[in-house]
Amino acid sequence: MKHSSLRAGATGPAVLAVCAVFAVSACTAPAPPRAAATPSPAPVPTGVMVLPAPTGGSAVGSTVLFLDDTSRPDPWEPQAEGRRLRVTLWYPAASADGERAPYMSAKESELLLKGGRVVTGAPYDILSKTETNAVKDAEPAGARRGLPLVVLSPGWTKPVATLTSLAEELASQGYVVAGIDHTYETYATTLADGSVAECVACDFDTDFGFQSRVVQSRASDVSFVLDQLTGSAWKGSALIDPARIAMVGQSLGGGSAVAAMVKDPRVRAGVNMDGTTYARIPKTGLPRPFMFLGNPQHVPGGRDTSWDRDWKLLTGWKRWLTFTGGEHQSFTDTVLMGGALGVKQTGTLGAERAVELTRTYVTAFLDRHLRGRPQTLLERDSPEYPEVTFNG
Amino acid sequence: MSTCKPPEPPVPAETPTTIDVVEEAYYCVFAHHYKGVTVDAEEMLTDGFIALTQELSRSGRDLAVAVMPPLQGDRWKDWQAFEATFRTITDRLPDDVDEKLAVVTLEAMLAGLGANHTTWIHDDPPRHPDFHNGDMYSLGLLTNITSLQAGSDLGGALGPLFVTTVLGGAASKAGLRPGDVIEAVNGESPFVGGRLTSAIKQVYPRYPQTRPVRLQLLRESTGRRWSVELRPGLFQPDLALLQGVTSRLVGDVAYLKVTGFAPQVADRIFRVLSRLGSQRPLKGLVLDMRGNTGGREEEVNRLLGAFAHGKVTGHHCSPDGTCRPAKTDDSVTLLNLPLVVLTDRGCVSACEHFSSAVQALGVGKLVGTRTGGVVFGLPKPYLLGNGTVLQLPTTHHLGVNREEIDEVGVAPDVHLPLTAADVAAGRDPALGKALSLLGSPS
């Protein structure tokens, strides 16, 4: 078999793909957090992806910061000078006028599609044509220490741009959102000098204990970014309230939210969107608010036992919700890419509805815990969102 | 007749194993296993029935009706007879016992095929409730006899048994060191008459086994003899020790230890070499494949593509004798580096495909001990009706010159086993030999 066709094993369930090899001991190893299964191709790509407009009251600005942590080596690339991170900020803007922020570059689009083996006939730069709802480098709007901060962490190999629809919504609702591209853990990250860092860490993703290692590293990335943002790294830094910080992530980024909260008490609340968890929560428990948002397989007693294990150690306010008809990408822009790329989605939940549910429940969680606003949505089933199931 | 098929997402949830699932597997073997054409159905059913009666006996539920039905050498009719007897037995037993009987029957039928890489993936092994990714559950030590050998290679193992690595856990707390000779395991000698005994298996307990294991130890350097009791447990090993590829420069020779042929490992190796090569011009390469548990065939062919182009690296042979050649991946740039590969009994499967090709193609020398001989053939997955998966080798692996490697292993050019004294002193004679073959002072 050719290299490429065996790689098609990635379209199968990861746990099986791991076993279909010429090895004797790999079959019980947990599947690495590789790129999620690529949906099978549908016939025709249909133009560009459309990001739903944010629903909050504020205009949205977006800017990119390059933050270099020289105090530690890069965990994956020995030739890098320290840990260099690219952070995309979304925030309430003073004005809705101005050039739109780019979604991603043509090169990033190409590397992301090639890395995910999305070969459908859609042009490789297609994602760079996506129109965002944020004004590039707009003036931030807010009172001193008036804006709560939300850190976003994407899934393995995915740029944080794939969480843009959530990020824009949160910014329109009055949050500063800091999306981290964890360098070398993504198929493409354009760095300050214009070079594009590729997925060096993908070399390591079959190593024993890799997932544990990567969430620890992401927790360090988060702490560094918090130091910088609550310092003076951004012209709007003074608007951030350092006492109201949360973290939200999808897949490995969601698992990293747990790791970051264990490591850094500044992160007061967290949301894990469909990610297996890897960090060790102290036996005394994690007393801060936390929410699991999952696809329908991510239920108590399900195949991924990590949420069951950690649920017992979450000793603060907590919820465990699943979206009926959802899939692993229901929490990201990837569900919106189906038409543009000509790929079928695997879930039955519509793409726009998936985005709406994610935006609604994440916003409710943050409003509840960073702004002290009671949320009936989080207390019980809601007739307007029948797809949402309370598992705990 | 066979209804098993390659698995596709979404993965169905696993349901209990019934006699219908055993039937499906039975026909799946005939349809897809390399031995499917030649396998004797009577033997397979007999193997299954023996295991079934042993389970009945062990559980104290033996029955007068548990009598092997007469077989006539017809796969279909013999199955009918077998199934009828199975149902007669299980009609008299509770449901959970029925499932256990179906499981042991199928496991024994597959084991009886005598072909490694024939596996049935079912019923995920239980995990310690506090298990986290990167944790291990064991005594915290590795020995010169790997856990895989302990399960399959009692015949070829070389004594004495000694500690090679202390990973953590109980072994670390008890102060064990590499090179400590294990003279007895729970009072049993690991080697009797020069042959490895099943005592070795107790050195590798799995969760939920919690019973302490008593080791009688000898530290040759001091002559100290003592015994320790190690309790299996969960611990966090040093992950740096367990990376898939570790490397260093020894003079102007690159030394890389490669633990498996994971996806993209060949490119990972090339990137490491390019980095080492940028520090100084490389004169040679040592690939330490000791303990390499195998992996993807395309990675073997890609790695070999760095040393030769346009070559056959091995053969995948069908029961009718036709063979599909595996070939070097010629899209790789040739490294033009002299190569030595370190091997031992722990080098199995894809590792043996690689080592045998290195030797047969003359692109490098092998130093160490004979490989494990666990290379029957490339397995393919088949989904059974209850959501479990049967992995069956559909072809049989042969070497570059169509030589048998399975069970035989690959003999190194230079035979140089690792000794307890070497390990205790931190010496690696095989690496030393490799460096001298590459013309580099060690």
Burial readout B376-389 (b: 16 or more C-beta within 10 A, e: otherwise): bbbbbbbbbbbebb
B193-237 pLDDT, tens digit per residue, is 989 999 999 999 999 999 999 999 999 999 999 999 999 999 999
The Cα–Cα gap between A333 and B218 comes to: 61
Taking the domains of chain A in order of start, what are their residue ranges? 32-390
pLDDT along chain A (392 residues), means of 10: 26 29 43 43 73 97 98 94 97 97 98 91 94 98 98 98 98 98 98 96 94 97 98 98 98 98 98 97 98 96 92 98 96 92 84 97 98 97 97 92
Measure in Å the smallest separation between the Cα of B345 and chain A Cα atoms: 13
Measure in Å the smallest separation between the Cα of B411 and chain A Cα atoms: 20
Q: Tell me the Cα Rg of chain B.
A: 24
Amino acid type, B148: L
User: Which residue segments constitute the domains of chain B, with CATH numbers given?
Assistant: 19-121 (no CATH), 136-235 (2.30.42.10), 243-373+409-437 (3.90.226.10)
Chain B interface disruption, residue of A6, A7, A15, A21, most B CBs within 10 A: A21
Query: In chain B, which residues have their Cβ closer than 8 Å to the Cβ of A208?
Result: 134, 239, 242-244
Residue B57 to residues A291, B53, B94, B256, Cα–Cα distance (Å): 50, 6, 15, 51
Residue B308 to residues A359, B91, B355, Cα–Cα distance (Å): 54, 62, 14
Mark yes or no for CB contact A3/B302 under 8 Å: yes
Query: In chain B, which residues have their Cβ closer than 8 Å to the Cβ of A20?
Result: 379-381, 391
The tokens describing B266, both together, are 């060949």
**Are B312 and B338 in contact, with CB atoms under 8 Å apart?**
no
B279-316 pLDDT, tens digit per residue, is 999 999 999 999 999 999 999 999 999 999 999 999 99
Smallest Cβ–Cβ distance between A24 and the set B8, B116, B243 belongs to: B116
Average pLDDT of chain B is: 95
Smallest Cβ–Cβ distance between A305 and the set B127, B349, B389 belongs to: B127
Mark yes or no for CB contact B295/A23 under 8 Å: yes
- Residue A15, pLDDT score: 28
Q: Please name which of B237, B311, B2, B13 lies closest in space to residue A302, comparing C-alpha atoms.
A: B13
**CA nearest A15 in B: which residue?**
B11
**Are A12 and A37 in contact, with CB atoms under 8 Å apart?**
yes
- What number of CA atoms fall less than 13 Å from residue B297's CA on the CB side? 22
The tokens describing B402, both together, are 């169509």
B348-380 pLDDT, tens digit per residue, is 999 999 999 999 999 999 999 999 999 999 999
Chain A interface disruption, residue of B5, B122, B133, most A CBs within 10 A: B133
Q: Is the dihedral of CA A315, A357, A173, A273 positive or negative?
A: positive
Query: In chain B, which residues have their Cβ closer than 8 Å to the Cβ of A5?
Result: none
Average pLDDT of chain A is: 89
Query: In chain B, which residues have their Cβ closer than 8 Å to the Cβ of A202?
Result: 264
The tokens describing A30, both together, are 């947990």
Q: Is the dihedral of CA A367, A369, A375, A380 positive or negative?
A: positive
Q: Is the dihedral of CA A299, A304, A308, A314 positive or negative?
A: negative
**Are A113 and A341 in contact, with CB atoms under 8 Å apart?**
yes
Query: In chain B, which residues have their Cβ closer than 8 Å to the Cβ of A279?
Result: 132
The Cα–Cα gap between A88 and A267 comes to: 18
Coil, strand or helix at B207: coil
Indicate the pLDDT class of residue B442, thresholds 50, 70 and 90.
low
Backbone angles phi, psi at B392, to 5 degrees: -125, 130
- Residue B165, pLDDT score: 95
The tokens describing B399, both together, are 């070497």
CA dihedral A13, A15, A19, A23 (to 10 degrees): 140
Cβ-based neighbours of B262, under 8 Å, separated by 6 or more? A206, B244, B295, B296, B299
* Mean pLDDT in residue range B307-331: 97
- Residue A35, pLDDT score: 41
The Cα–Cα gap between B345 and B374 comes to: 10
Mark yes or no for CB contact B264/A1 under 8 Å: no
First vs last Cα of chain B: how many Å apart?
Answer: 61
User: Which pairing describes strands B284-288 and B414-415: parallel, antiparallel, or unpaired?
Assistant: unpaired
Smallest Cβ–Cβ distance between B9 and the set A12, A25, A206 belongs to: A12
The Cα–Cα gap between A390 and B302 comes to: 49
CATH superfamily name and code, A32-390? Alpha/Beta hydrolase fold, catalytic domain (3.40.50.1820)
The Cα–Cα gap between B245 and B288 comes to: 10
Mark yes or no for CB contact A3/B329 under 8 Å: yes
Query: In chain B, which residues have their Cβ closer than 8 Å to the Cβ of A37?
Result: 9
- Residue A8, pLDDT score: 24
The Cα–Cα gap between B281 and B284 comes to: 9
Burial class (CB in 10 A: 0-12, 13-18, 19+), B227: exposed
* Mean pLDDT in residue range B379-397: 96
Q: Which residues of A touch B (CB under 8 A)?
A: 1-3, 6-7, 11-13, 15-16, 19-28, 30, 37, 78-79, 202-204, 206-213, 278-280, 303, 305, 309, 346
**CA nearest A210 in B: which residue?**
B134
Chain A interface disruption, residue of B5, B11, B118, B132, most A CBs within 10 A: B132
CA dihedral A156, A161, A164, A168 (to 10 degrees): 130
Reported ipTM: the value is 0.87
The Cα–Cα gap between A253 and A163 comes to: 11
Mark yes or no for CB contact A213/B239 under 8 Å: yes
The tokens describing A227, both together, are 């130091």
Distance of CA A139 to the CA centre of its chain: 25
Q: Please name which of B326, B332, B298 lies closest in space to residue B313, comparing C-alpha atoms.
A: B326
The Cα–Cα gap between A235 and A141 comes to: 11
Mark yes or no for CB contact B263/A212 under 8 Å: no
Measure in Å the smallest separation between the Cα of B296 and chain A Cα atoms: 5
The Cα–Cα gap between A359 and A367 comes to: 12
Q: Please name which of B393, B391, B132, B259 lies closest in space to residue A16, comparing C-alpha atoms.
A: B391
- Residue B8, pLDDT score: 86
